[in-house]
Every structure is written in C-alpha cells, then in structure tokens.
Amino acid sequence: MMTAALLPFLAVLPIAASAATVLWRNATWQRVWLLGIPVLTALAALDLLLQHRDTPVIAENVGAFVPGVAIPFVSDTFSALMILVTSFTVLMCLVFMTATGENRYRLVTPLVLMLLGGVNGAFLTGDLFNLFVFVEVMLLPSYALIAVTGTWRRLGIGRTFVVVNLLTSTILLIGVGLVYATAETVNLALLVGAGSDPRTMLSSGVVLLALSIKAAIVPLHTWLPRTYPATSASVMALFSALHTKVALYALYRITSTLYEGQPPWIMVLAVLVGLSLVVGSYSTFSERVMRRALSWQMVAGVGHIMLGLMLFTQFSLGAGIFYMIHHIITMGALILGAGAIEQTYGSGRYERLSGIIRRDRLLTIGYALALMSLIGLPPSSGFFGKVGLVQASAQAGGAWQAVFITLIFVGALGSLVAMQRLWVGVFWGPDMEDYLPDSPETGRGAKVKLTDDIRVTPRLLAPMAVLVLTQLTMFVLAGPLMQVTTRAAEGLVELAPYVQAVTG
Amino acid sequence: MILPLTIGVLTAGAIYLMLQRGMVRIIFGLSLLAHAANLLILSAGVTAWRGEPFPEAAGAADAGDPLPQAFVLTAIVIALAVTVLMLAMAVIGHNDDTKRMPETGETHRR
C-alpha cells in the first residue's frame, strides 16, 4: 500500500490538513481531521513496518534530481516504528484534548496537525538540512500551542521554551552549515563514515550539541522541567512524546551514520549518560506537583535511551529503541493520568490531593501500573526495557559493566522512592474536603466543597487506560517486539542497504 | 576577511542582546544570530574566490556552489516566520520589562 513515492506525503498530508482546518473552521470537520490524521499516519507506518520485514529500506529522491543532490525521504524499520508509536500516542493525547475541550480553542487543531507533519518529516528525512527544516516546522506550532492553551502565567514560562529552542535551532543550522563546508554534502547516505575526518568530526559535533540540548541531556536539561509542566497536561503529553524523542532519534541516526558507532567523544557521552540517569531520578524528590515530578523522570528516561546509543552494539541499540518506545507510552499514560486528576480536582499538588485511591479506583490501578512501568518493576514494559539495558551493559564488559549497571539500579531506586512520595501524597490519605473547579473565565475558580458525584470521568480516563493497556501488551509481547527493535538496530549498524536505497 | 569579521560581530551582538531582559531585545538578538548563521552557511560556498553560482556568467570552474545559497534562502524564510511569531508573543505576553502580570482575573492556584 505504502510505496516510496508516498513517503513525503506522511509529512505533507498533515500540513495540508492543517491548512484545510484553518480555512474551514467547522467543529465536526476539525475534529475529523484532528483524530483522523494520526490514525492515518499510524496505519501507514504499520504498513511500512510490515514491508520492512522483506525490504529493509525504501527511499524516495524528491523532485527527480539525481541521487545525492535530491532531497531523500527514507523509511526503515526504526523510522517506521517511531512514526507508529508517536502517532498512536499523539492520538491518545488528542482524544484527551477533546475530553478537556482544549481542542475548541482557536487554531489548536491546525497547530497540532502541523506539529505532527513536522515530526513525521523529521523521522523520514535523510538529509541534515531537511532535518533542520522539519524541526522548525515542528517547533513553530509548539510555541503557539503553549500560548493558545495557556494562561498568562503559562505564556511567560513559554518564553523560556521559545528562546531556548530557537537558540538551539540556530546552533543546529550553524552545525549543518559547517558539516556542508567540511564534508561537502548533508545527505546522510553520503556522509557514512565522514566523522573519521577530524574537520567533519568537529562540525558534526555542533549538530550533536544542538540535538543534545533538544533531547534534554544533563547538563543541558534545565529548560525541560521548567517549561513542560507549565503547559496543559495534553500539550505536555504531546511534547513529551514528540520533541525530545525526535532529537533522540536524530542522535541515534547521525551518530550511527557519521561515526559508524565509534564517536570520538565516547567518554563525554558516558559521563553525560551517567549524570542523566542519576540527576533525573534524584531531582524528582524536590517536586511537590505531579507533572513537575514527571518532567524530571523524563530527564532520567533520556539517560536510559542514550545509554543504548553509547554502548553501541546491535543489542544495546535494540534495547535503547525498546526503552524509547516504552518511555513514550508510559510517560504518555502518566501525564494524561495526572491531567485527568488536575482537570477534575483542579490541582496537581501533593498537599491538595489525597485519598484518590478510594474515589477513583480504575484510575488508581492504571496509575499504579504506569508507575511500576516507569520504575521497571514487572508486570510492565519498563521491566524489559531495563532488563535489556542491563544486559547490554553486561555485554560491554570491563568498567562500563560495573558503572552502568550500578547507575541503572541507583537511578531506579531513586525513582522508586520519589514516586512513592507522589503515590502517598496523591492516592493515600484522608478524603479530600474541597476542590478547585474548572472555570472557563479564570482557569481555576474558588475552593468549593467536594461532593460525591465529582469523579474522574470515563472520557478523561480512557486515553490513559489505553496507554496502560498498550504498555501491558508490550510486557506480554516483549519477545516479538524486541525482534522488531533488533531489526531497527540492525538498520543502524548495517548501513549498506540504507546507502544502496538512497543512492540507487 | 570581511565575512568572518561580520559573523563575529553579529554573534557578539546577538549574545549581548539575548542576555538582556526584555523580550523584544531577545528577539533582535535571535535575528542577529540567524544572520550570522546565514553568512556562515554562505561562506561554505567558498566566497573567497568563486563568482556567482551561474556557470554561464562565471564559468563552470569559477562558479560558486549554489547549494549553500539555497540553504540560506530557506533559512531566511524560516527566520522571518520565527521573528514574526516571536514578536506576536512579545505583544501578547507580559509587559515587556516588568514582572507584573496584566489584570486578567485569572487565578494561579494549582
């Protein structure tokens, strides 16, 4: 069904739909596009994933230029898997968005669709400059999304996000320019092994620096926990599924292509990965608000994903990709669950919430399962995610083995205790007496006595429940899924089919 | 030599402006940095001795590389869009240099 010629449409279609929803603002029409496009891209990605069992890479050189000059769109198992997982998670975030009514704000539908188009493009592009363009296409609607769904306070915090990301994009652009100056091409298929030239090594380092800021690797992470929790829950879930993951995908892709797995700054990477694992986990202690605590856990997750890249064996890459998928889905479930609580009771603060365990049983069960997944306890996808990374570290042997296995456990222990504080604060304790109801004029109204009929509605709960079930399915079907992630990793190690497909 | 110096001056100015408090000054800083990046990409086409990127005018051996110019064109368009968006955010956001929030009736308890 999907052919190489259709690959650009995965990016073009959402952007065209974005235009269509700006021009015609009928509510039903907008909702059809808002929910239809992620379904469509997820199905297309699934089809691509099935095709890649036989043909590992398909590529399309846009504009009928000769290969090498044309802009390539490339799909392999890794990119198809990422599009499938992100589109699915985005769909759940959008279902949540329709439940909270945020999609009725002006222009939210087109902005989200444009965001999705940029993300799909960034996953499929085989050209560094085009990556920069799609990252910008992805970021511009994000700036506006913070402003549109936010209150005045959120707008102020949104500025931090805007300035940091714009500066980073400019650094990325400078890096791409330098790569062109030193390697004379920005086509990834022609850049294979170019990192062995010391000049290209330095210039591509600028690209990797920019992507590291976007991926929020410690010590370049401070913008993330400050800005993400300030947006609304559905927008935060969207961003957490898309933005940092695109940057991580690009880091995987570029490192494996340019250096063929032997980045010269492996020691720097090792230190950063170790720091991310620990800093993310232990900084969670400082927070007393659900989504702020979760944003620190995102930083810890980045450390885990980058560990797979740092060790760079086919097994460790597969484990890293598995962890990335697990992280997208689990984080989505946790943020949407926190969003459902905030929407209903008007607060995400530990001290304002208590006794949810007796009020909303289904939500509590789902949240417990998602938290277990975050920490890596069975039965959850996080268990196999961490087992994979521990195995990969053990295979690395030597000092890496001891250091990283210790750090994974130390990090998991920190997360466990920190998440218990969230658990005790929000789910245990006496029944709540009052709450802050949602008010369209002022955001949050005054304190009102909590009556028995105020519960988390099934509509708010459903998206989170689906993500938790997906995560449990990943636990049960970990074997087949790991085969897919291993195939994705194979595409990063064996570059010949990629080059073959692009250069024809 | 003029090109590296210009890039240096633009970057220095950009960093100075970005460290200021007001949003509008940060935006000016970011657009200066975008100019610096554009000139840097342009210099990747070896501006030192090459001519226009048209083989008919400059001869195939001396013609500049057209690809960096195409990059810069795209980057300029993106920078323009970003600047417009940022200026819009500066207008609707806080009063530029103060920390006081506008009276909107919103409450900020969480």
Interface of A with B (CB under 8 A): 129, 133, 136, 140, 143-144, 147, 151-153, 155-156, 158-159, 162-163, 166-167, 170, 173-174, 176-178, 180-181, 289, 342, 346-349, 352, 436, 441-446
Helix (H) or strand (E) holding A62: strand A57-62
Q: Of A140-154, A171-185, A359-373, which gets the smallest average pLDDT?
A: A140-154
Examine residue B101 and state whether it is found in any structural domain, yes or no: no
Q: How far is CA A264 from the centre of its chain?
A: 27
Q: HEC profile for A119-166?
A: HHHHHHECEHHHHHHHHHHHHHHHHHHHHHHCCHHHHHHHHHHHHHHH
Structure tokens at A391: 């195995």
| Mean pLDDT in residue range A220-245 | 91
Within 10 A of B109 (CB to CB), how many other CB atoms are there?
13
**If you average pLDDT over residues B87-106, what whole number do you get?**
64
**Range A178-201 average pLDDT:** 91
**Percent of chain B topping pLDDT 90:** 41
The domain locations on chain A are 4-503
Instruction: Tell me the whole-structure pTM to 2 decimals.
Output: 0.94
Give the domain extent around B20. Answer: 2-56+66-92
- Pair A116, A91: CB distance under 8 Å: no
Burial (0-12, 13-18, 19+ Cβ within 10 Å), A451? exposed
Indicate the SS3 state at residue A76.
Answer: strand
Q: What is the pLDDT of residue A293?
A: 95
Q: Say whether B74 and A159 touch across the interface (CB within 8 A).
A: no
Domain-located, residue B61: no
Residue B81 in any domain: the answer is: yes
Nearest to A174 among B37, B74, B94 (CB): B37
Give dist(CA A261, CA A316) in Å, integer: 12
B15/chain A closest Cα distance in angstroms:
10
The rounded distance, in Å, linking the Cα atoms of A322 and A482 is 7
The vertex-A377 CA angle with A375 and A380, nearest 5°, equals 95
CB B30 within 8 A of CB A170: yes
Q: What is d(CA A109, CA A334) in angstroms, rounded to the nearest whole number? A: 23
Looking at residue A211, its pLDDT comes to: 96
Q: Are A84 and A232 in contact (CB under 8 A)?
A: no
* Any domain includes B36: yes
Q: Which amino acid is at A194?
A: A
Question: Which carries the bigger pLDDT value, residue A96 or residue A153?
Answer: A96
Q: What is the pLDDT of residues B12-30, one digit of tens each?
A: 999 999 998 788 899 999 9
Q: Say whether A442 and B105 touch across the interface (CB within 8 A).
A: yes
So what's the pLDDT on residue A408? 94
pLDDT band at A264 (very low <50, low <70, confident <90, very high): confident
Judged by CB atoms closer than 8 Å, whether chains meet at A147 and B89 is answered as yes
Phi, psi of A475 (to 5 degrees): -70, -45
Has residue B102 got a pLDDT over 60? no
Nearest CA in chain A to B42: A177
The pLDDT of residue B106 is 60
pLDDT exceeds cutoff 80 at A425: yes
| Nearest-angstrom CA–CA distance, A419 and A281 | 10
Q: What is the mean pLDDT of residues A325-343?
A: 95
Chain A's closest residue to B29, CA to CA, is A167
Task: Write the residue in A166, A348, A349 that is nearest to B30 by C-beta.
Answer: A166
Shortest CA gap A444–chain B (Å): 6
Tell me how close the Cα of A364 comes to any Cα of chain B, in angstroms.
21
Q: What are residue B47's phi and psi, to 5 degrees?
A: -75, -10
Q: Given an 8 Å threshold on Cβ–Cβ distance, is A152 in contact with B106?
A: yes
Task: Read off φ and ψ for residue A64, nearest 5 degrees.
Answer: 60, 25
Per-residue pLDDT band for A151 (boundaries 50, 70, 90) equals: low
Map tokens 């499929």 to a residue: A124
Which segment of A215-219, A326-330, A450-454 scores lowest on mean pLDDT?
A450-454
pLDDT value at residue B109: 53
The neighbouring-strand residues paired with A57 are A76
Is B16 a member of any domain? Answer: yes
For residue A180, what pLDDT is reported? 92
Q: How much is the pLDDT for A150?
A: 60
Q: Which is more confident, A161 or A118? A: A118
What pLDDT score was predicted for residue B108?
A: 54
Q: In terms of pLDDT, which residue wins out, B99 or A256? A: A256
B110: chain A residues, CB-CB within 8 Å: 289, 342, 347-349, 352, 444
Q: Taking CB atoms and an 8 Å cutoff, what residues of chain B touch A147?
A: 89, 92
**Pairwise pLDDT comparison (A453 vs B80), residue with the higher score:** B80
pLDDT beyond 90 at A158: no
Look at residue A59 in the predicted model and tell me its pLDDT: 92
**Distance of alpha carbon A258 from alpha carbon A179, whole angstroms:** 11
Q: Cβ of B85 and A140 within 8 Å?
A: yes
CA distance A333 to A176: 35
The pLDDT tens digits of the residues spanning A293-332 come to: 999 999 999 999 999 999 889 999 999 999 999 999 999 9
Per CB-CB distance under 8 Å, the chain B contacts of A425 are none
- Report helix, strand or coil for A451: coil
Query: Contacts of residue B107 in chain A, CB cutoff 8 Å?
Result: 442-446
Across A310-314, A483-487, B59-63, the highest mean pLDDT is recorded for A483-487
A417 pLDDT band (50/70/90 cuts)? very high
| Mean pLDDT value of segment A323-343 | 95
pLDDT at residue B52 greater than cutoff 80: no
- Over pLDDT 90: what percentage of chain A? 71
Whether residue B110 is predicted with pLDDT greater than 50 in this model: the reply is no
- pLDDT of residue A179 exceeding 70, the answer is yes
Structural domain tally of chain B?
A: 1
Closest residue by Cα to residue A86 from A483, A440, A467: A467
Q: What is the mean pLDDT of residues A414-426?
A: 94
CA-to-CA distance for A91 and A85, rounded, in angstroms?
10
